[in-house]
Amino acid sequence: MIKKIFKVLLILAMAGIVGFLTYVWSIFIWLMAYEMNVAVIIMICIAFPFLFLPFLFKEKRKLVFEMVIVYLITTLIALGINIAVNKYDKSITIKIEDNINVLEYMPFEEETKIAKLGRESSLKLSENLPILDGAAAVFPVYSSFINAVYPDDVKYQEAPFYYNNTSLGYQKLARKETDIFFGAYPSAEQIEYASDNNTEFEYTPIGKEGFVFFVNKDNPVNNLTTEQVKGIYSGKITNWKEVGGKDEKIVAFQRKEDSGSQSMLKRFMEDTKLMNPPREHIIDTMSGITDMVSNYRNYSNSIGFSFRYYIEGIIKNPDIKLISIDGVAPTEDNISSDSYPITTNLYAVTYKNNSNPNVKLLIDWILSDEGQEIIENTGYARIK
């Protein structure tokens, strides 16, 4: 009787060890994002020492064999579960990475995709070059400004620009590490962070942009009213059939806090409370949110948001479609004329009392016909 109890306890102990090792392994694989071939190698390495146990404990060989079998069975089950979880996780999450191929939009390159003036710029800076930064969707714009106004050999000097997301970009501007940030209006938290660093932001609208909502191309819904969108993102509307679609649950993706588009969503919602989404519905990047709407495992039932130029000018995902709001499509003409109901400004954000005189010179040039030509040729609407 005692031997049987001891045997059961040993097997349970082995199962506990296996469970712990599997847990550690799962966390390791998740953190390192290894492919499954590496995962299998790791599992074999963990299992390998156990294969020698029967030879080390000859008196208890039968018991050890049973323990090894338990280990292998548990390992295979854990491996299967981990594969399933890994596949599920990849279907709803996105790694943090560059949203665009920055090298395709670099200044002073022959094959660059940036907009260029067909003539020499009226403004040429040679020293005290303002350090520029901006949101992912605006990089082609300020790269074009650099190409037109900065000296050609600037690429051999200390880099006069950064490529950050909105959150990090506003932090650097608040700490006065950059001179101009190009992007959407900051969130209340970003303004507070600036205040904590004794920095006061100043805002210059330089272009117009549409805040857009998009669905999978197979979703029959082509238009939503402003109130319907607010209903979806407040959690009051939860099924597409409530807005003329299929009888499917609505999966409304959001961005992480302090991203430019998430801040814009909050401003759009006004007094309507934004629902707290499940963790899996929070996406780190704008490219991630479009990928999720096009590839989500229940692909036709999701909705996301971003800015028009980013979707149509950079991402160009054929599996999603922009929807009209209040019957008005988010075209460049409708945004320029303010016919589209969710039109917002593209800002050049500076900080008060910047001692670099070229900051004002550059912004004045951006508001000139030449600067506005670049704004328009990039894909945004002119501010004037």
pLDDT in tens, 33-70: 444 445 555 555 555 555 555 555 555 556 666 666 66
For the entire predicted model, the pTM comes to 0.65
Q: Which tokens is 197 given?
A: 């660093």
What average pLDDT does the segment 95-110 reach? 69
- Within 10 angstroms of residue 374's Cβ, the number of other Cβ atoms is 27
Please determine, for residue 100, whether its predicted confidence score (pLDDT) is greater than 90: no
Distance CA 190, CA 167 (A): 8
- φ/ψ of 174, rounded to 5, equals -65, -30
- % the chain with pLDDT above 90: 46
Residue 322 clears pLDDT 70, i.e. is over it: yes
Fill in the DSSP letter of residue 187.
Answer: P
191 versus 3: the higher-pLDDT residue is: 191
Other C-beta atoms lying within 10 Å of the C-beta of residue 74: 17
Residue 314 · residue 138 · CB < 8 Å: no
- Range from 100-109, 206-215, 229-238, 357-366 carrying the lowest mean pLDDT: 100-109
Q: Lowest-confidence range among 73-77, 118-122, 337-341? A: 73-77
Among candidate residues 148, 211, 224, the one with its CA nearest the CA of residue 344: 211
Note whether 179 and 345 are within 8 A (CB): no
Contact status, residue 47 vs residue 100, Cβ threshold 8 Å: no
Largest pairwise CA distance in the chain:
96
Which one has a higher pLDDT value, 139 or 1?
A: 139
CA distance 370 to 364: 10
Hey, what amino acid is at 337?
S
What pLDDT does residue 173 have? 96
